[in-house]
């Protein structure tokens, strides 16, 4: 297929200082939970994006010296020459596929506690470090400032020698020393580095000049700068100092990479923002500089990208998450395969890898982070090795991914779904407030399945064990995959409760499935959230929208506690407060009697009682595996000669995130017709050389 000429502009080269890009697709720096610990995995992941057509591929933040050590978070590291080889793996892999390599050098100042290096923490002014480490940072002397400039120069030279084409000076996200110098919230200095904006920008200006001096002959120097903190008068605002900073530094860097701060504002989820959400903050930048500008906004639509360029907002289309969900996004636009783009759903599961210090994962792209260790590729999968065929029961994300990937391998697949539509939990959850974009998980897979002749889908087909056996016998199917999902429990068993909660049936007890299925409790409704991810908060929001008065009770220290890992916790809490949800944290539900909930404060005997009309229990999910159990039982009494394997996959085995369900469906398809050895670790590891 050929590309739509409307998108030609996206494939124009852009000069950046001494270099030029092959197109306008720019993978901005993003963390991946692999960093310096898994260098082969990082290189393989970045290489796939270069293959997929991205013009520039940037590293995650890269520590320049042990005095900026964010351990145990796993970022890139260029403390000395010993770290170079790891990064060279990435530059070589990126160059091999024709892209430019960029590196985001960082000194984090008071945003690193130096837990591993145990060096004293430097900051613009005396202050505590970010987070809760009982550590303080000391105000840098002029000598320290000169030292950090030297560290940055040395790291820039090492980066150039690693083969990087673009070297960043990083002042974004409220995470870096130059941004701390700029920011009057932190900078209380009285010397020439404090006071006026001109003074506060001095350190950043010096870093840019230093970097240009030492590597500018060969490398472009990019500045990543946050121009708004969304804090009004408490922070940098695009309308005043955000703009003035750009005016002061306008022609100094070779490339402006502009965004909003902090990270939770920069990487907003689809629950809280639309594609292109940063435009109103950053659109002024291009008018103040002749240098190219890159920015982000969860861009997945080529029309939106073209519009950003034609309207003079951006020169380069920056993307982290869209490049994670679809490393081949540019190539698909180039080859006229826009319908094949695996669009990011804006869920930030990818971000959770950084917070949990584990390799990146993605809801839409199960191969992300698995390129090296499992040899998985987002666009290629090995062809079938037998003529066996498969019956998949269920039509949720697990089943759809398994059917699509098996179909792409060439296997004959029959999928039977009880409902009249496909999508399972994703379809239901995407009806909840703010989660509409999640339906892309289903849409992408249905689009791909429609092109696969070897996959046959039967809707309105609830199968019992006899039907599965008969059906597979009739069709000559040898393998059964049960992907019948999970249902939310209604007995309260979860993290805080290991046994059912006592109740006298005096009020309606509901589950999220009941609410998603259309039940609408009225009056005062309690949402009891012992799940701690998004579901409790989103159900509370839905109930308020439908007219209920809602109290959200959770044993957690914060509402939707796990969403700190997806950068959403603050926003969820703000949203719930703003719509009038009453929040009670650190309380367990003891019993329900006479329309009253009795709660106990954690770690105390203090109890309180709350009258309510209904309670929605969001605690844990029960695998729906009765079909699987019946098949196994039948097979034990009477061998099912025509069936080789019966497996249960996804939520019907172990309920998890949608990302987990997709991943398991994908793994089933990849491992189909293989026999894993229990004694063999199922992926490659990267050992520290001894």
CB within 8 Å of 120: residues ≥ 6 apart: 67, 114, 137, 138
Close Cβ partners of 254 (under 8 Å, ≥ 6 residues apart): 16, 17, 18, 212, 216, 220, 221, 222, 291, 292
Site for ligand SF4 in 326-345 (CB under 6 A): 344-345
Decide if residue 348 touches ligand SF4 (CB under 6 A).
yes
Site map 614..643 versus ligand ADP, x via CB under 6 A:
----------x--x----------------
Interaction partner, residue 346 (ligand SF4, ligand ADP, none; CB < 5-8 Å by kind): ligand SF4
Q: Least distance (Å) from ligand ADP to the CB of residue 531?
A: 15
Active-site annotation holder among 262, 266, 315, 651: 266
Token pair in block for residue 656: 């998890």
266, 267, 226, 216: which is closest to 246 by C-alpha? 226
Binding letters toward ligand ADP, positions 661-690, x by CB under 6 A: x-----------------------------
Give the shortest CB-535-to-ligand SF4 separation in angstroms: 16
Using CB under 6 A, which of the segments 50-58, 367-375, 459-467, 568-576 binds ligand ADP?
459-467
State the Cα–Cα distance between residues 155 and 119, nearest whole angstrom. Answer: 18
Q: How many C-beta atoms lie closer than 10 Å to residue 276's C-beta?
A: 18
How far is 633 from 156, CA to CA, in rounded Å?
64
> Interface with ligand ADP by CB under 6 A: which range of 432-440, 482-490, 491-499, 638-646?
482-490
Q: Smaller CB distance to ligand SF4: residue 92 or 570?
A: 570
Single out the residue of 484, 554, 563, 619 in contact with ligand ADP (rule: CB under 6 A): 484
**Which listed option, ligand ADP, ligand SF4, none, makes contact with residue 653 (CB within 5 to 8 Å by class)?**
none
Q: Between 360 and 509, whose beta carbon lies closer to ligand SF4?
A: 360
Catalytic-residue membership of 31: yes
Q: Between residue 262 and residue 321, which ones bind ligand SF4 under the rule CB under 6 A?
A: 321
Binds ligand ADP by CB under 6 A, chosen from 242, 318, 512, 650: 650
Among 34, 78, 137, 350, binds ligand SF4 (CB under 6 A): 350
Least distance in Å: CB of 662 to ligand SF4? 10
The residue among 263 and 672 lying less far from ligand SF4, judged by its C-beta, is: 263
Among 52, 397, 536, 537, binds ligand ADP (CB under 6 A): 397
Pull the structure tokens for residue 593: 């009697």
Residue 416 C-beta: closest distance to ligand ADP, Å: 5
- Cα(665)–Cα(667) distance, integer angstroms: 6
Among the listed residues 43, 64, 129, 347, the single contact to ligand SF4 using CB under 6 A:
347
CB 345 within 8 A of CB 367: no
228's tokens: 């708004």
Return the SS3 of 487. strand
Distance, CA of 575 to chain centre: 21
- CA neighbours closer than 13 Å in the CB half-sphere of residue 467: 10
With respect to ligand SF4, which residue has the nearer C-beta, 235 or 322?
A: 322
Report which of 406, 411, 409 is spatially closest to residue 387, judged by C-alpha positions: 411
CA distances from 599 to 511, 606, 607, 610 (A): 19, 8, 5, 8
Binding at 14: pick from ligand ADP, ligand SF4, none (beta carbon under 5-8 Å per type): none
In angstroms, the CA 473 to CA 492 distance is 41
- Residues 360-389 binding ligand SF4 (CB under 6 A) are 362-364
- Give the nearer residue to ligand ADP in terms of CB position, either 231 or 419: 419
Query: Residue 103 — φ and ψ, nearest 5°?
Result: -130, 135
Per CB under 6 A, does 268 bind ligand ADP? no
Give the CA dihedral 365, 370, 371, 373, nearest 10 degrees: -170
Residue 298: is it exposed, middle or buried by C-beta count within 10 angstroms (0-12/13-18/19+)? Answer: buried
Alpha-carbon gap, residue 430 to 542, rounded angstroms: 12
Distances (CA, A) of 304 to 4, 296, 315: 14, 12, 13
394 contact, one of ligand SF4, ligand ADP, none, CB 5-8 Å limit per kind: ligand ADP
Does the footprint of ligand ADP cover residue 536 (CB under 6 A)?
no
SS3 assignment, position 682: coil
Choose the contact partner of 345 out of ligand ADP, ligand SF4, none; CB within 5 to 8 A by kind. Answer: ligand SF4
Q: Which of 173, 497, 524, 587 is catalytic?
A: 173
In the residue annotation, 266 being an active-site residue is answered as: yes
The active-site residue, picked from 26, 170, 444, 628, is 170
Judged by CB under 6 A, does residue 419 bind ligand ADP? yes
Should residue 346 be labelled a site residue for ligand SF4 when binding is judged by CB under 6 A?
yes
Q: What is the 3-state secondary structure (H, E, C) of 106-165?
A: ECCHHHCCCCCCCCCEEECCCEECCCCCCCEEEECCHHHHHHHHHHHHHHHHHHHHHCCC
Q: Does 324 bind ligand SF4 (CB under 6 A)?
A: yes
List contacts with ligand ADP (CB under 6 A).
393-399, 416-419, 424-425, 461-463, 483-486, 624, 627, 650-652, 661
Q: Which active-site residues does the annotation give?
A: 31, 170, 173, 266
List contacts with ligand SF4 (CB under 6 A).
321, 324-325, 344-350, 362-364
């Amino acid at each position: 297929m050929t590309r739509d000429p409307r998108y030609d502009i996206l494939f124009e080269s852009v000069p950046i200082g001494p270099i030029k890009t092959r197109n306008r697709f720019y993978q901005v720096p993003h963390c991946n939970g692999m960093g310096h610990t898994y260098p082969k995995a990082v290189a393989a992941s970045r290489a796939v994006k270069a293959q997929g057509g991205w013009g520039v591929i940037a590293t995650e933040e890269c520590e320049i010296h042990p005095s900026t050590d964010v351990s145990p978070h796993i970022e890139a590291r260029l403390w000395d020459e010993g770290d170079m080889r790891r990064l060279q793996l990435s530059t070589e892999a990126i160059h091999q596929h024709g892209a430019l390599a960029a590196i985001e050098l960082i000194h984090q100042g008071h945003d690193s506690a130096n837990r591993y290096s145990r060096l004293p923490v430097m900051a613009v002014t005396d202050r505590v470090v970010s987070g809760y480490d009982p550590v303080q940072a000391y105000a840098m002397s002029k000598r320290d400032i000169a030292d950090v400039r030297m560290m940055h120069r040395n790291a820039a030279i090492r980066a150039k020698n690693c083969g990087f084409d673009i070297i960043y000076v990083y002042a974004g996200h409220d995470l870096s020393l130059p941004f701390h110098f700029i920011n009057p919230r932190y900078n209380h200095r009285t010397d020439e580095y404090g006071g006026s904006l001109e003074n506060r920008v001095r350190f950043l200006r010096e870093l840019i000049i230093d970097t240009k001096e030492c590597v500018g002959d060969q490398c472009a120097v990019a500045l990543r700068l946050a121009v708004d903190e969304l804090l009004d008068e408490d922070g940098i605002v695009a309308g005043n100092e955000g703009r003035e900073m750009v005016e002061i530094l306008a022609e100094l860097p070779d490339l402006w990479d502009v965004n909003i701060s902090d990270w939770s504002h920069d990487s907003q989820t689809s629950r809280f923002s639309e594609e292109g959400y940063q435009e109103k903050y950053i659109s002024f930048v291009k008018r103040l500089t002749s240098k190219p500008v890159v920015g982000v906004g969860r861009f997945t639509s080529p029309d939106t990208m073209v519009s950003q360029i034609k309207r003079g907002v951006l020169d380069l289309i920056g993307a982290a998450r869209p490049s994670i969900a679809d490393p081949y996004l540019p190539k698909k636009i180039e080859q006229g395969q826009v319908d094949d783009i695996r669009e990011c759903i804006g869920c930030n599961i990818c971000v959770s890898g950084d917070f949990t210090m584990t390799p990146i994962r993605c809801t839409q792209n199960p191969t992300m982070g698995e390129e090296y260790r499992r040899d998985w590729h987002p666009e290629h999968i090995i062809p079938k090795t037998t003529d066996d065929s498969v019956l998949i029961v269920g039509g949720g994300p697990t089943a759809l991914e398994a059917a699509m990937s098996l179909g792409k391998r060439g296997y004959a697949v029959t999928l039977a779904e009880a409902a009249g539509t496909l999508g399972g939990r994703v379809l239901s959850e995407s009806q909840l407030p703010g989660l509409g974009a999640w339906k892309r998980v289903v849409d992408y897979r249905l689009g791909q399945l429609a092109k696969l002749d070897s996959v046959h889908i039967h809707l309105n087909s609830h199968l019992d064990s006899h039907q599965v056996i008969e059906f597979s016998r009739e069709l000559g199917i040898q393998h059964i995959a049960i992907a019948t999902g999970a249902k939310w429990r209604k007995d309260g068993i979860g993290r805080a409760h290991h046994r059912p909660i006592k109740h006298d049936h005096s009020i309606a007890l509901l589950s999220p499935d009941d609410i998603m299925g259309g039940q609408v409790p009225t009056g005062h409704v309690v949402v009891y959230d012992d799940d701690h991810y998004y579901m409790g908060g989103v159900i509370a929001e839905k109930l308020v929208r439908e007219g209920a008065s809602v109290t959200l009770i959770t044993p957690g220290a914060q509402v939707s506690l796990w969403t700190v890992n997806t950068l959403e916790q603050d926003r969820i809490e703000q949203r719930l407060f703003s719509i009038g949800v009453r929040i009670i944290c650190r309380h367990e539900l003891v019993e329900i009697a006479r329309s009253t909930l009795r709660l106990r404060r954690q770690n105390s005997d203090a109890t309180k009682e709350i009258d309510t009309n209904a309670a929605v229990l969001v605690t844990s999910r029960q695998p729906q595996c009765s079909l699987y159990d019946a098949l196994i039982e039948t097979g034990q009494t009477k061998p099912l000669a025509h069936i080789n394997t019966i497996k249960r996959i996804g939520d019907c085995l172990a309920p998890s995130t949608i990302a987990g369900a997709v991943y398991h469906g994908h793994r089933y398809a990849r491992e189909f017709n293989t026999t894993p050895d229990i004694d063999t670790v199922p992926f490659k590891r990267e050992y520290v050389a001894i």
